[in-house]
Each structure stands twice: as structure tokens, then as C-alpha cells.
Amino acid sequence: MGLRERKKQRTRDALIDAALDLFLSQGYEATTIDQIAAEVEVSPRTFFRYFASKEDVALSLTADEQEMFLAELVARPLSEPPFAALSQSMRAMLGILREIDGAEAGRIMKAQRLVHSTPSLLAGAMRLIRENERRLVAEVARRMGTAPDDLQSQLVVSVFVSIGLLCMNGPTEDLNGLARRYEDLLTLAERSLRPGWDLPVGSAEPEPEPEPASASASAAS
Amino acid sequence: MGLRERKKQRTRDALIDAALDLFLSQGYEATTIDQIAAEVEVSPRTFFRYFASKEDVALSLTADEQEMFLAELVARPLSEPPFAALSQSMRAMLGILREIDGAEAGRIMKAQRLVHSTPSLLAGAMRLIRENERRLVAEVARRMGTAPDDLQSQLVVSVFVSIGLLCMNGPTEDLNGLARRYEDLLTLAERSLRPGWDLPVGSAEPEPEPEPASASASAAS
DNA sequence: TGTCATCTGTCATGGACTGACATAAATTAC
DNA sequence: GTAATTTATGTCAGTCCATGACAGATGACA
């Protein structure tokens, strides 16, 4: 990789770091682009060459996580029922996040705290998730062998996304707490949904229901 | 009601009408506050005394509908299971909307078309709905006799809201088409959810399941 | 080294939104 | 009916976000 690329990456990271720090210390709306740019010793105009908006820099890590999640999903074996594939992808992503360390881990946790404590950013994060919902539906429909505008695949994704959003609504700011809350919600969802609800209607093989006794056995991971 | 109040109401309505017309003819982002204010022969500063933002005026009717829905919900008999109460409230609201006529009906349909055809406004509408979700959860929790931070009541509301959002995602711009789509989704949800899923776990009386044969009999209303 | 592509800073601009203050209008009191 | 009070509106100035245009600086590459 050339010097130019590395320099750009460093500027980008510096902008994210400066932005997160300022947002956390002064508040999101109280911080101006000029302050962020000054901190990195870059012109305000340059900021907008790296990020489309003030919100964009705050949510860039959230967007990255979305991409990670989608990548996990497409890598899941097709034999897995749709909802299980979604759940497992989420578990896998949380696992990866837990293993990250160094500067990137600090950024992620800062972003987590920031988004969670700023209403407009929380709304923005939900908007991001909603925007990705279309791609999730496409992938789920592919797995179910249905059209992308099929209501059932949309419902499956929608229920899954709802659970994810409920996780974010919770008071937790800790990654482990998030994972625990997520497993609680999955258990509740399992109790609420009919077995095989996420399989095509004519499907011969109904999704096998796990024994309820060991439902949350793998929660601690 | 005094002259002052009537004048204010007229100005407010005029601003909404001018805004909707301009948004629909020129596009939302291409329209400036100055244009709207000029149309009503009012200073731009006055616009912001009536609406907090450009988005606010576009979504004011959507916000009104949210209030209507919540009013319907609190008026539902407590004997109704939570999810049924939510569904019936939605049906009632759609019914009321269908009966409205005159200038108000025109406004509502314009707003419907506008929001549906403008991505950023669609996102805004979803944000509105999400913000009201907290109040819905409180009401549902009251009906279920659980705490407002109970996961189950949150899940019930979340599933319901998801169905509402899926309705909005559809290509329909017609009120009847919307209602039909809504009924389709409810049928699908019924097929996906366990009977009594929205009742407190220790509940002795499971929610009676309607015979599947006539599931969509009342769809046409 | 010289050419080229790309990144960056500077400048100018537009549009959303806000605070402060003065004016005009409606409400109320007398 | 007039005076005093309250409230809505207009004007003005200003901040901030965001974008286009252009020129200069810097790394890439022959």
C-alpha cells in the first residue's frame, strides 16, 4: 500500500478519534466541524471529503459493524434456517467485536457509548439498520428461495431487526451486557414464534425445535 | 374560540398546505423555507414559530395520526389481548381516516404521497413511530400488568410496529391498498406466532385461536 | 526529473435554524 | 371607548452545516 493510502487512512482515523472525543466530552450538537478539523489540523472542507456529514463520522463505526454482519450472513451455510442464520451471524459478529483490541477497540467502545447517549445518533443508527434491512431481505429471500418482495422474508428480517433494536434500547453500555440481553430476547422470541415460522409455507421438513431445558446453554459463548 | 386562535389555526393550515404543494411539485429538498413563507405571505421567522423544522411541517399530519392511534389504543377494552388491541386500534384509525373529507382529507393524502415518495421523510416518519413506541410499550405493559421495561411487552409492541413499518415500505399510495396490505401482514403474523404469545407467561387462559379457514374474512372491512 | 493524478486549502455561497429586539395586533381591564 | 397587558409577527444579525469552484501542494510513476 502506498504512502498516499496510509496517509489518508491516518487522517480518517484521526478525524474519527477527534470527533468521538469531542462528542463525548462536549456533546454531539455542541461540537462543530471546525473544532474537529482544528483538532486534526485539517481544513473544515477536508472533513467533508472524508465524511458526508457530521452524523456520518459518528456512525461510521456502526456502519462498519453493519457490513460485518452482512458478511457473516452470506457466509452462513444455506442449510441453516433463515432466522437461525441471522441469529448466528449476530453472535459471530459480537464474538469478533469482543476479540478486537488496541486503538480500534477503544474507538468502538467510545462510539457505542456516544451513540447510546445521544438521541439523534440513536435515531440515526436505527436509520442505518433500516437501510440495510433491504439487503438483509434480499439475502434471506435468496436463502428461502422466494422473491425479494415476499412478505414472509420481510417479516422474518423485520422480527430479527426488531430484536436488534430492542437490544440497543436497553440501558446497557457494556458489550457483554449487550450479548446477554440479546440472548434473553432470542429466548423470548423462540417462546413466541411457532416452530418453522421462518420456513417457506410448503416446506416438508419443519424446523426442529430445540429442547427448552437447555435453551440458553450457549448464551455465555 | 377567540379571533387570535382562529387566525393562528388558519396560518398553520396555510403553511401546511403551501409546504405540501411545494414539496410535491418541486421536491422536498429543492423547496426552501423562504418559498413556503412567501407563499403564505409570512416572514420565514414566523414559519419556525409554527414548526420546529422543515421536516416537522411535512410530518405534522403523520404525527397527528400517531396521536389518533394512541387515543384509540387507550380506549380499547382491557379484556382484549394486547396484540389484538393494537391491531384493532390500527383498523379503527384507518377507518376514521377513510371517513374524513374536505380540505383535511386532501392534506392527508398529499402528505401520504409526499412522505412515501421522499426517502428522508420516510425515514423521518419511521423515527416518529419509533419515538412513540415508548408510549405504546407503557400502555401495553399497563394492559399486561407488567413493568414498562418488561421484555415481553416490548417485544409485542416491536412486532406490531414492524408490521406497520412493513406496510409503509410497500409500493401502495392508496389508503385501501394500505389497509389490504396490513390485513395480509396480520394474517401472516398470526400464522407465525404461537397462540397466546402476547399474554403474560403465567396466564391460565391462552388466547383462543380463530379457525384458520376464515382467517381473512374481515379483511375487506 | 518531469508529468500526471490526487489531495488539500481557500474562498464564496446557500440554506436551515436561533436569539434579540421592536412593532403591531388582539385581549383584557377600567 | 380607551388604556394597559399580553401575544404574535417582522426585521436583523449571526451560527452552523454543507457544497461548488479553483488554485496550489504532494505523492505516484515513467
Residues of chain A with pLDDT under 70: 173, 203-221
**pLDDT recorded at residue B169:** 84
A85 contacts A74 by C-beta, under 8 angstroms: no
Q: Round to the nearest angstrom and report the end-to-end CA distance of chain B.
A: 38
B154 touches chain A (CB under 8 A): yes
Angle at B128 between CA B8 and CA B157, to 5 degrees: 135
Which chain C positions come under 7 Å from a protein C-beta?
6-12, 14-20, 26-28
Nearest to B123 by CA among A126, A138, A168, A122: A126
- Name every chain B residue with its beta carbon within 8 A of the beta carbon of A189: 155
Q: Is any atom of strand D within 7 angstroms of residue A31's beta carbon?
A: yes
CA of A44, C1' of C1: distance in angstroms: 34
Q: How far, CA to CA in Å, does B132 sit from each of A87, B70, B99, B128?
A: 27, 9, 24, 6
pLDDT at B135 over 60: yes
Q: Round to the nearest angstrom and report the end-to-end CA distance of chain A.
A: 37
**pLDDT recorded at residue A138:** 96
Q: Is any atom of strand D within 7 angstroms of residue A48's beta carbon?
A: yes
**pLDDT recorded at residue B176:** 85
User: What is the spatial distance between Cα B184 and Cα B166, in angstroms, rounded to a whole number?
Assistant: 11
pLDDT digits (tens, 9 = 90+) for B189-210: 999 999 999 999 876 655 555 5
Q: List the beta bridge partners of residue B193.
A: A193
Q: Is CATH 1.10.10.60 the right assignment for the domain spanning B1-51? A: yes
**pLDDT recorded at residue A2:** 87
User: What is the spatial distance between Cα A46 and Cα A59, in angstroms, rounded to a whole number?
Assistant: 18
Q: Is B154 in contact with A161 (Cβ distance < 8 A)?
A: no
B184 contacts B215 by C-beta, under 8 angstroms: no
Interface test with A, best of B140, B146, B154 (most A CBs within 10 A): B154
Kindly state the helix (H) or strand (E) to which residue A191 belongs, with its residue range.
helix A175-192
User: What is the spatial distance between Cα A111 and Cα A104, in angstroms, rounded to a whole number?
Assistant: 11
- Name every chain B residue with its beta carbon within 8 A of the beta carbon of A185: 151, 155
**pLDDT recorded at residue A157:** 97
When CB atoms are compared, the residue of B163, B166, B194 closest to A192 is B194
Neighbours of A214 (CB within 10 A): 8
Q: Is any atom of strand C within 7 angstroms of residue B10's beta carbon?
A: no
B216 touches chain A (CB under 8 A): no
pLDDT at B219 over 50: no
Q: Which of residues 30-59 of B touch strand D (CB under 7 A)?
A: 41-46, 49-50
Neighbours of B145 (CB within 10 A): 11
**Biggest distance spanned by C-alpha atoms of chain B:** 63
Where are the domains positioned within chain B? 1-51, 54-196
What is the architecture, at CATH level 2, of domain A55-197? Orthogonal Bundle (1.10)
What is the architecture, at CATH level 2, of domain B54-196? Orthogonal Bundle (1.10)
**pLDDT recorded at residue A1:** 81
Which protein residue has its CA closest to C1' of D18?
Answer: A53
